[in-house]
């Protein structure tokens, strides 16, 4: 049998959420192993340019900000799909997490007292920054927020925070096994024991056992083909959870499109472009967003801006190109100095990847798949439904502060806030539960993976990996994209039914020893198709429009019938996912108007109190574990009422 | 105007007993705004599934795709084929451990370097969740960020004459990291401690000033400036000893 590794905590994924949890556990003296597809500092967290939302209220335009306002924006942004208690834990802890990062070494941009020039809603404005706040963490504007509350380090927030976190992990002696891919979880009787892992150096298999296991593998945007995500964001962590047959994935149909992916490479340019005053223009170089959204303009939430862009292009106002229609992002008025400092990464991307100078030229952009609100369903502690000893955090998880649309800057902040909160729970769990190494289980679960590898090499199938991937991307982009129709979704479900069968017929042509990248891809393709199927099935079943999920046959948000969270399981041997539903969580602020995006609403048919009375029981029925008392938050219900007078 | 590009790509699989290094040729029709990320994926998807290379962000941010492109170490993702001649030769970065074809092991090297220079804030202070953050001048914050922008692609190490003869040299990437912490007031290491750590031939006095690092850095980082800052500080410390 192959190598067996043991640790107190096993973390799959070395992005920000995984590393923050590793640091939490290592600080408590636990032995931690992180598995990563790539060296940790190359994780996709590094690519997040914009920032992290926290209600510090230091910037002049953030004056009077508080956690309740942050919470309000988050719940509205989610189109009431979020778990409002989780949103509160998040908003209350986010300022602490930012200050902690400052302590660990992140060079946050700071307040500079005195007059400062900004572009606000298309006009240059001089704002007096408070000299008393000089040197405290400052903030910039992001979409969907009442105050400026996005903390940043120039144009490289993700890079800075990830480097700081990884440096901490090195200081604390956290073991990293990079170029390793988890192929399956080891579990028995609803308890997770570890994972079977394949080396991406030499192709060998190993087993890892731990008291607590964490999945922090990020999103799965790559299944859409066109995505701003890194090429490693294929959802392997999420699909090995689904593969257990008992773990539910939450709200897989909630997929975010970012308004500004550049054409043709799909690389993201940050929301900071619009936050700092960039405009969206159409084929006539006309600024159209104020016509659709007079109040928020370019800075409405992402689902709304993406939809308006698509709507405008469908009216024939898009710019034609060999890579399809697009619109323009205009940054020219921000000036060379601004583009060379605060938006330098954007400048570099335009220059090096499409050969455009944004100081003098317009940038081709269109809405592009960007973020997966859905993921492994966890309770407030990050403990995975139906599986003891397994935790999840960050984009891989559905903790659920984002609901059906997440705000820019909330996901990067989530990684370290959830990392902090869930890290404590993981540590406590690992301390309270014994280590258990079973060679029988190791052999059994490793054998399953060996069989899969054998079938891919020696099967009689003729299907091509590349073609199945392309077909999947096409179904998702065409039929489960920004605008969805009943007919398109039905077709998507039928087509996924066929596609899932084809994945059993894949034959790997290249038999070279070592990592064999074709085999590596083939081993995860079926899991990716299953995730795509969950998205399509969830979207087809959800007969309403909410946040990023927009259907032309059900244009209203239906709080009478659909104020719930979709849960998708994949029972062993099934050919399609099995859907069930649970309440979104305990409701503090009842559903209302978001203040942007238009759209109709069907009100709740029962009083909020009645809804709330069933939450705990119905969630437990779906596999929720008992939840500990929240950390650093009073969960003060009703506080929001003082802010919306 | 459409060109047919000839790629000559280094092939070697260290895990195959019968593998010997050679250059393999592939023909690719050039498309508008094609970069090497698109070209290499085309080769693997359509021509040869055995080809090994590394990309992650494909946006010039993660540092995964450093390789020798017509002899020069740089990032493949942000190299447009339009800026290259019709014949494009791709070799793996020298110096690092070979993993297969264009893929090399930079991760292990950087982790070792980071342990060597103790790449973290050294402080006795404990974090107090209830306290306001320590204040910092915004210009200084920007300066620290500037010296933290290295993406660990390894191009400066691959291009460094000293590193190629002294494998323990921390290189421009290592000295740049030292500079980042040296200028950060949160790091309590004093000059004596820094001197102990890096005033060696593997550290700041290993550099012989060939300056290739500055030429090849794909992020155009001010490597030479920061290295001069570190060297000045350490020389001054040496003189007071």
Distance CA B211, CA B159 (A): 9
What's phi and psi for A78, nearest 5 deg? Answer: -75, -5
A404 in B contact zone (CB under 8 Å): no
The H or E element that residue B160 is part of is none
Q: A122 phi and psi, to 5 degrees?
A: 85, -5
Q: Identify the pLDDT of residue A377.
A: 98
Tokens 């920004």 belong to: A482
Do B87 and B17 have their domain in common?
yes
Residues 501-520 of A with CB under 8 A from B: 509-510, 512-518
- Out of B52, B63, B151, whose CB is closest to A515? B52
Single residue among B59, B79, B104 that ends a domain in this structure: B104
- Structure-token match 């590009």, residue found: B5
Residue B209 shares a structural domain with residue B97? no
- pLDDT-flagged residues of chain A (< 50): none
Task: Tell me how many domains chain B contains.
Answer: 2
Domain presence at residue B31: yes
Interface size, chain A vs chain B, as Cβ–Cβ contacts under 8 Å = 192
Q: Are residues B67 and B155 in the same domain?
A: no
The verdict on residue B112 lying in a domain is no
B142 touches chain A (CB under 8 A): yes
A226 interfaces chain B, CB cutoff of 8 Å: no
Instruction: Give start and end residues of each alpha helix (H) in A459-607.
Output: 465-479, 486-502, 517-541
Residues B122 and B218 in one domain: yes
A345 touches chain B (CB under 8 A): yes
Q: Is the pLDDT of residue B94 over 80?
A: yes
Q: Find the radius of gyration of the CA atoms of chain B.
A: 21
Question: What kind and span of H or E run contains B176?
Answer: helix B171-182
Helices marked H in A138-268: 157-171, 236-242
| A520 to chain B, closest Cα gap in Å | 11
- Other Cβ atoms closer than 10 A to A336: 13
In a domain, B111, yes or no: no
Residue with tokens 């099995």: A578
Interface check for A42 against chain B (CB to CB < 8 A): the answer is yes
CA distance A77 to B87: 51
The token pair at A357 is 């100078």
Q: Which of A102, A154, A513 is the closest to B142 by Cβ?
A: A154
Domain identity same for B144 and B198: yes
**Domain endpoint, select from B60, B82, B104:** B104
Angstrom distance (rounded) from CA B163 to CA B167: 5
Provide the CATH number for the domain around residue B189: 1.10.1060.10
Is residue B127 in a domain? yes
CA distances from A144 to A133, A286, A297, A299 (A): 25, 23, 10, 6
Among candidates A137, A59, A149, A62, which has minimal Cα distance to A101?
Answer: A137
Burial letters A385-407, b for 16+ CB under 10 A, else e: bbbebbbbbbbbbbbbbbbbbbb
Residue A329, token pair as written in the block: 């992002």
Alpha helices in B96-154 (DSSP H): 106-116, 138-146
Respond yes or no: is residue A211 known to be catalytic: no
pTM score over 0.90: yes
Can you give the CATH number for the domain in which B43 is found? 3.10.20.30
Summarize pLDDT for B135-180 with one digit per residue, the tens: 999 999 999 999 999 999 999 999 999 999 999 999 999 999 999 9
The verdict on B131 and B91 lying in the same domain is no
Of residues A307, A324, A326, A372, the one with CA closest to residue A143: A307
Q: What integer pLDDT is reported at residue B1 of this predicted model?
A: 59
Q: Is B98 in the same domain as B129?
A: no
Is A383 strand, coil or helix?
A: strand
Do B64 and B171 reside in the same domain of the chain?
A: no
Q: Looking at the structure, do residues B136 and B84 belong to the same domain, yes or no?
A: no
Provide the domain limits for residue B223.
Answer: 117-240
Residues of B (36-75) whose Cβ lies below 8 Å from A: 44-46, 49-52, 54-64
Closest-CA residue in chain A for B126? A103
Number of Cβ within a 10 Å radius of residue A173: 10
* Claim to verify: residue B88 and residue B121 sit in the same structural domain: no
Which of A70, A187, A198, A274 is flagged as catalytic? Answer: A274
Say whether A104 and B121 touch across the interface (CB within 8 A): yes
Residues 6 or more apart in contact with residue A255 via CB below 8 angstroms: A224, A369, A371, A372, A373, A374, A480, A535, A548, A549
* Cα gap A222→B55, rounded to integer Å: 13
ipTM above 0.95, yes or no: yes
Strand order in the sheet with B87-91: B22-29, B4-11, B87-91, B66-69, B72-75
Q: Is B109 contained in some domain?
A: no
Task: Determine contact: A302 vs chain B, CB below 8 A.
Answer: no
Backbone angles phi, psi at A337, to 5 degrees: -60, -45
User: Which among B35, B58, B99 is the nearest to A201, CB-wise?
Assistant: B99
Contact between A353 and B35 using a beta-carbon 8 Å cutoff: yes
Question: What residues 190-229 of chain B have any CB closer than 8 A to a CB of chain A?
Answer: none
> Quick check: A547 and A529 in contact, CB under 8 A?
no
d(CA A296, CA A120): 11
In chain A, residues with a C-beta closer than 8 Å to the C-beta of B46 are 466
Answer yes or no: do A230 and B56 touch at CB < 8 A. yes
Mean of pLDDT values over B96-110: 96
- Residues in chain A within 8 Å Cβ distance of B64: 38, 42
Q: What does the DSSP assignment read for A290-347?
A: HHH-TTTGGGS-HHHHHHHHHHHIIIIISBP-TT--BEEEE-GGGHHHHHHTTTHHHH
Sign of CA dihedral B230, B236, B237, B239: positive
Burial of A331 (0-12, 13-18, 19+ CB in 10 A): buried
Distance from CA of B137 to the nearest CA of A (A): 5
Rounded-to-integer distance, Cα A572 and Cα A570, Å:
6
User: How many Å apart are CA A238 and CA A229, to the nearest integer?
Assistant: 15
Would you state the pLDDT for residue A571?
A: 98
Residue B172 lies in a domain: yes
For B118, the closest chain A residue by CA position comes to A171
pLDDT of amino acid A633: 80
Rounded Cα distance, B124 and B122, in Å: 7
From the list A176, A345, A466, the residue facing B45 with the nearest CB is A466
A140, A159, A258, A377: which one is catalytic?
A258
Residue bearing tokens 């330098």:
A344
Facing A512 at nearest CB: one of B16, B121, B152? B16
Output the six-digit token pair for A639.
């506080």
> Does residue A163 contact residue B149 with C-beta atoms inside 8 Å?
no
Cα–Cα dist B68/B76, whole Å: 9
- Residues B236, B206 share a domain: yes
Q: Is A551 a catalytic residue?
A: no
Helices (H), A138-227: 157-171
Answer yes or no: do B174 and B225 share one domain: yes
Q: Average model confidence (pLDDT) for chain B?
A: 95
Q: Spell out which residues of chain B touch residue A268, defining contact as CB-CB under 8 Å.
A: 59
Within-domain flag for B231? yes
**Chain segment A573-617, per-residue pLDDT in tens:** 999 999 999 999 999 999 999 887 778 999 999 999 999 999 999
Q: Work out the burial of residue A127: count CB atoms within 10 Å of its CB; fewer than 13 is exposed, 13-18 middle, 19 or more buried.
A: middle
Listing DSSP states for B49-105 in one string gives: TT-----SSSSSSS---EEEETTEEEESTT-BGGGS-SEEEEEPPSSSEEEETTEEE
Residue B146 lies in a domain: yes
Which of B53, B83, B104 represents a domain boundary (last residue)? B104
Tell me if the bond preceding A264 is cis, omega within 30° of 0: yes
A255 forms beta bridges with: A372
């Amino acid at each position: 049998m192959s190598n067996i590794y043991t640790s107190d905590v096993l973390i799959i994924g070395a992005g920000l959420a995984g590393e923050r949890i590793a640091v939490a556990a290592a600080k408590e003296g636990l032995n931690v192993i992180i598995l990563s597809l790539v060296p940790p500092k190359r994780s996709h967290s590094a690519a997040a340019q914009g920032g992290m939302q926290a209600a510090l209220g230091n910037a002049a335009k953030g004056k009077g900000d508080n956690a309740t306002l942050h919470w309000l924006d988050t719940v509205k942004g989610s189109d009431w799909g979020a778990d409002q208690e989780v949103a509160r834990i998040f908003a209350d802890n986010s300022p602490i997490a930012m200050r902690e990062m400052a302590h660990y070494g992140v060079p946050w941009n700071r307040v500079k007292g005195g007059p400062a020039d900004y572009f606000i809603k298309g006009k240059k404005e001089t704002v007096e920054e408070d000299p008393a706040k000089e040197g405290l963490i400052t903030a910039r504007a992001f979409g969907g927020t009442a105050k400026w509350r996005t903390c940043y380090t120039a144009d490289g927030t993700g890079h800075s925070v990830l480097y700081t976190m990884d440096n901490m992990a090195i200081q604390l002696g956290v073991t990293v096994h990079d170029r390793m891919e988890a192929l399956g979880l080891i579990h028995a009787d609803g308890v997770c024991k570890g994972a079977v892992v394949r080396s991406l150096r030499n192709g060998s298999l190993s087993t890892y056992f731990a008291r607590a296991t964490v999945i922090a593998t990020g999103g799965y945007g790559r299944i859409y083909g066109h995505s701003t995500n890194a090429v490693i964001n294929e959802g392997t962590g999420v699909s090995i959870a689904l593969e257990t047959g008992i773990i539910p994935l939450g709200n897989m149909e909630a997929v975010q499109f970012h308004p500004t992916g550049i054409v043709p490479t799909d690389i993201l340019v940050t929301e900071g472009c619009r936050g700092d005053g960039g405009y969206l223009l159409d084929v006539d170089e006309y600024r159209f967003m104020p016509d659709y959204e007079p109040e928020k303009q370019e800075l409405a939430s992402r689902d709304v801006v993406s939809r308006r862009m698509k709507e405008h292009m469908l009216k024939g106002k898009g710019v034609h190109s060999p890579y399809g229609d697009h619109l323009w992002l205009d940054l020219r008025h921000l000036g060379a100095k601004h583009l060379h400092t605060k938006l330098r990464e954007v400048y570099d991307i335009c220059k090096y990847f499409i050969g455009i100078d944004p100081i003098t030229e317009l940038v081709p952009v269109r809405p592009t798949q960007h973020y997966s609100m859905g993921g492994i369903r966890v309770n407030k502690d990050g403990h995975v439904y139906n599986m003891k000893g397994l935790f999840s955090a960050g984009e891989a998880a559905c903790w659920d502060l984002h609901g059906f649309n997440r705000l820019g800057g909330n996901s990067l902040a989530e990684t370290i806030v959830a990392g902090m909160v869930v890290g404590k729970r993981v540590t406590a769990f690992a301390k309270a539960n014994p280590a258990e190494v079973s060679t029988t289980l190791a052999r059994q679960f490793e054998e399953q993976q060996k069989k899969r590898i054998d079938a891919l090499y020696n099967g009689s199938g003729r299907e091509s990996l590349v073609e199945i991937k392309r077909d999947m991307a096409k179904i998702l982009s065409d039929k489960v994209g920004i605008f969805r129709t009943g007919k398109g979704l039905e077709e998507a479900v039928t087509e996924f039914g066929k596609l899932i069968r084809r994945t059993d017929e894949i034959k790997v042509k290249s038999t070279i020893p070592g990592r064999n990248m074709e085999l590596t891809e083939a081993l995860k393709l079926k899991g990716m198709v299953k995730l795509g199927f969950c998205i399509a099935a969830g979207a087809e079943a959800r007969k309403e429009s909410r946040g990023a999920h927009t259907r032309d046959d059900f244009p209203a948000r239906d709080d009478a019938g659909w104020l719930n969270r979709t849960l998708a399981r994949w029972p062993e041997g099934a050919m399609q996912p099995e859907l069930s539903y649970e309440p979104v969580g305990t409701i503090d602020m009842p559903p209302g108007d978001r203040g942007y995006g238009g759209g109709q609403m069907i009100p709740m048919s029962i009083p909020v109190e009645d809804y709330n009375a069933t939450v705990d029981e119905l969630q437990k029925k779906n596999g929720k574990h008992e939840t500990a008392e929240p950390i650093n938050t009073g969960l003060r219900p009703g506080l929001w009422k003082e802010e919306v007078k | 105007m459409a060109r047919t590009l000839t790629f000559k790509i280094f092939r070697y699989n260290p895990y195959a007993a019968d593998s010997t290094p050679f250059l393999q040729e592939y023909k690719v029709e050039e498309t508008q705004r094609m970069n090497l990320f698109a070209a290499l994926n085309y080769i693997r998807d359509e021509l040869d599934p055995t080809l090994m290379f590394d990309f992650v962000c494909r946006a010039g941010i993660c540092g995964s795709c450093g390789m020798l492109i017509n002899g020069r170490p740089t990032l493949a993702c942000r190299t447009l084929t339009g800026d290259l001649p019709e014949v494009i030769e791709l070799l793996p970065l020298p110096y690092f451990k070979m993993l297969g074809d264009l893929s090399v092991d930079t991760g292990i090297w950087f982790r070792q370097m980071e342990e060597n220079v103790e790449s973290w804030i050294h402080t006795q202070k404990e974090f107090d969740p209830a306290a306001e953050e320590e204040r910092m001048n915004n210009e200084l914050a920007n300066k620290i960020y500037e010296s933290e922008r290295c993406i660990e692609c390894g191009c400066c190490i691959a291009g460094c004459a000293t590193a190629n003869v002294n494998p323990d040299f921390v290189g421009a990437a290592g000295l740049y990291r030292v500079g980042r912490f040296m200028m950060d007031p949160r790091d309590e290491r004093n000059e004596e401690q820094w001197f102990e750590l890096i005033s060696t031939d593997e550290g700041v006095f290993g550099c012989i000033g060939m300056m290739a690092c500055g030429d090849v850095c794909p992020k155009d980082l001010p490597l030479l400036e920061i290295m001069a800052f570190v060297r000045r500080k350490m020389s001054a410390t040496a003189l007071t000893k």
